[in-house]
Amino acid sequence: MRFNKKKFIYLISPLKIDKTFYRHLEHILKYKKVSFFQLRLKNEKFSKKLIIGKKIKIICKKFKVKFLINDDVYLAKKLNADGCHLGQNDMDINKAKKLIGNKIIGITCHNSIKLAKVALKNKADYLAFGAFYPTNTKKTKYRPSLAILKRARKLTNTPIVAIGGINSDNYKKLLLNKANLLAISGYIWKNKKLQPFEAIKKLK
């Protein structure tokens, strides 16, 4: 899977999407730092996610950003998204591949090289590790050290995604330790000091 080193942001949606969201998303994607956008809506009905997903897909396509769905392979298939992100308790990657075909599938590996090796064996398109820093976006049990990024890099050239509490103060550490992509949500959408498009401009 090819990606542009300058476009190192893997943007994750807020849990609630209001009418202002789409305008903010356009402003953010214009900055050309985002490679992937993941729709992560835990508490919405499938029909609502479908409506939201169709709108986001159009914006992502306009800015040449890959559009992924969190957890829900059936939603990814219905939207004909670019791919899906799977946690350890979600659908098996091989079953997901049969459902959505030759699409991007990334796997959560928490803080485990063992899980990363399983994901690589199953030909995952990227490996996601985290949470590296404290985050309010989701409950986290796993806190890997930065060293896991370099260990994973020695195993593979498959893209590595770092996640968890990433902001303008700590993002460079992750890139310097071999992360290819930084999964970011709260810093952009819940930033009390900056608008979303202002927040992303701090990540140079």
Three-class SS state of 129: strand
pLDDT at site 1 = 67
| Residue carrying the six token digits 């949606």 | 13
pLDDT at site 3 = 66
Q: Are 127 and 180 in contact (CB under 8 A)?
A: no
What whole-number distance in Å separates Cα of residue 14 and Cα of residue 24? 12
Across the strands, what pairs with 10? 36, 183
CATH number of 9-201: 3.20.20.70
Paired tokens of 164:
């968890």
Q: Which long-range contacts (CB under 8 A, 24 or more apart) does 54-60 make?
A: 54/79, 55/22, 56/13, 56/22, 56/25, 57/81, 59/22, 59/25, 59/26, 59/29, 60/29
pLDDT at site 138 = 67
pLDDT at site 106 = 98
Q: In the chain, which residues have pLDDT < 50? A: none
Return the DSSP state at 161. E
